[in-house]
Amino acid sequence: MPRIVVIGGVAAGMSAASQAKRREPKAEVVVFERGPYVSYGACGMPYNIQDPARDIEDLVVISPERFRTERGIEVRTGHEVVAILRAQKKVSVRAVETGKVDELAYDELIIATGASPMRPPLPGIELPGVMVLRDLQDGRAMKRFLDEVRPRSVVVIGAGYIGMEMADVLRQRGLAVTVIEKLPDILPGYEPEITRQVRAELTRRGVSVQVDVATESIEPGGKRDSDGLIVRTSAGLHTTDMVIVSVGVRPNVALAQAAGLVLGPTGAIAVDAELRTNDPHIFAAGDCAEAHHRVLDAPAYVPLGSTANKQGKIAGANAVGAHERFAGIVGTAGFRVFDLEVARTGLGQSDIDRLGLKAVRAASTHQSKAHGYPGAKPLTTVVFAEKGTGRLLGAQMVGADVVAKRIDVFATALTARMAMDAIEELDLAYAPPFAPVYDPVLIAATVTLKELAKAGRG
Ligand code: FAD
């Protein structure tokens, strides 16, 4: 009976454990999770935090107890793997509460240690009221702070998608929200046509956005916790009751690195198509690992729940003898901020510049529904296509009506390596309530073809 050991019990880890047990019911599957929770949807945390009536634990999909009784998977929460002893095929595990260290042998090991939020080395980053949002404990702490301290203001440091989601939900809970971004624009990787609209939406909803502003320190506002905080920036001071630091994540690779496993060019764990590391008995999946980017044709680090679930499932199957391959990603992601949906897939301008690709760029704005149908909203699309071949390289979209699902059309086209003329000919669904006769995806393709024709002539 093979023993499969999984390190980490969230999206990738529990998908891996469940799949291994389903494929090989005789396998003994043991999951070590250092925290108290497993199997929860971190992606749902902002919306849960928005609603004071909901319990953060509602996000737990299956409890450790149910994994044990219904699926036959041994889940040990409060247990941190502190070393991987590859030569002996063992892991060293520390019980968080007692500090006691034990060893357990494995036949196959799956590393699903995820990522940790970056905490810039700012003076005051450890003060009470300065928070990150990564795991369910962070979510619980944030909800408790909102309920008990009742902050009236928050400074969000970092304008990536989690910063945007938190600005939205905390504004909707009535807080005064200031977003501070060090870079010249919000949402790194998104085009100015997209970010301009997001900034306008934030301003319309009363969120103050400051770009090109570096945070220098966080200081107590007074002697008591209730005196709040002072955020010192390159552009002045902000007094606030709460700070959220959302400046990105780093893959948790220390265990893998200490065990001599190879990291890839992105700094995450390098894996092959079967999600094996350089040790044939050790797999890695989710936010700790790289993924093959099908457009770049290179490893990439795009830490998302969608990929973590899929990679976990494949790693779990392969750990019990399958030979499934993870097809890779095309860099698709999306989020909502107030009334706007924002999504992207494939390459952006910075990727194209970095790779030295010859590309055209076409921006267009069109209505989301048929002319005269109530509720139509303008959707702005930016498309990148390769000169010469006309192949789609990437697309981004913003608007208040069905954006993410339209980006999925572009994601499908990227996966199929389609050129813009083939995209223009797609037979997409039409009825007045959900699209004009020519969907904004098709019109964006036509506009891009015009740019390609101009570039061809130039
Ligand atoms: P993690 O969720 O990081 O889990 C890893 C686990 O491993 C952790 O519980 C950790 O405690 C444990 N661990 C680490 N080291 C050890 C050790 N040595 N021993 C034992 N246990 C260990 N993605 C999307 O696709 N769409 C979204 O809309 C979206 N929204 C998000 C919103 C928020 C607020 C956040 C925080 C994330 C969001 N994500 C979203 C990202 C998504 O949640 C992550 O990609 C996903 O959780 C990754 O899963 P994972 O299992 O790889 O890693």
What does the pLDDT look like over 335-376, one tens digit per residue? 999 999 999 999 999 999 999 999 999 999 999 999 999 999
* Terminal CA-CA length for the chain: 66
Span 79-91, pLDDT tens digits: 999 999 999 999 9
Residue 153 Cα to ligand 1 middle (Å): 27
Q: Using most ligand atoms within 8 A of CB, pick from 43, 49, 332 the residue to mutate for ligand 1.
A: 43
Contact 198, 380 (CB under 8 A): no
152: CA distance to ligand 1 center in Å?
Answer: 29
- DSSP3 helix / strand / coil % (the chain, rounded to 5): 30, 30, 40
20/37 Cα distance (integer angstroms): 20
pLDDT at 458 over 80: no
288 tagged catalytic: no
Q: What is the pLDDT of residues 383-416, one digit of tens each?
A: 999 999 999 999 999 999 999 999 999 999 999 9
Average pLDDT value over all residues in the chain = 97
**Residue pair 349/191 in contact by the 8 Å Cβ criterion:** yes
Q: Tell me, in angstroms, the distance from the centre of ligand 1 to residue 39's CA.
A: 10
What's residue 43's pLDDT? Answer: 96
Going from the Cα of 410 to the center of ligand 1, the distance in angstroms, rounded, reads: 26
In this predicted structure, what is the pLDDT of residue 162? 97
Q: Which atom of ligand 1 is nearest to the CA of 10?
A: 51
User: pLDDT per residue over 3-56, tens digit each?
Assistant: 999 999 999 999 999 999 999 999 999 999 999 999 999 999 999 999 999 999
Confidence of residue 457 (pLDDT cuts 50, 70, 90): low
Q: Which atom of ligand 1 is the closest one to the Cα of 288?
A: 52
Counting ligand 1 atoms within 8 A of each CB, the residue from 5, 6, 30, 33 with the most, and so the one to mutate, is 33
Rg value, the chain, Cα: 24
pLDDT of 268 > 60? The answer is: yes
Phi, psi torsion values for 87, nearest 5 degrees: -60, -35
136: which residues sit within 8 A by CB, 6+ positions away? 35, 37, 40, 42, 45, 56, 57, 59, 60
Give me the half-sphere count of Cα atoms (radius 13 Å) on the Cβ side of residue 226.
3
Show the ligand 1 pocket: residues with CB < 6 angstroms: 7-13, 32-35, 42-43, 45-46, 80-81, 112-115, 133-135, 162, 252, 255, 286-287, 303-306, 308
Q: What is the pLDDT confidence band of residue 223, given thresholds at 50, 70 and 90?
A: confident
The pLDDT value recorded for residue 283 is: 99
Rounded Cα distance between 76 and 65, Å, is: 10
Residue 42 Cα, ligand 1 centroid: separation in angstroms? 7
Catalytically annotated residue among 23, 35, 43, 232: 43
Q: What is the DSSP letter of 227?
A: G
Residue keyed to tokens 């007045």: 432
In order of 58, 403, 429, the CA distances from 409 in angstroms are: 32, 10, 12
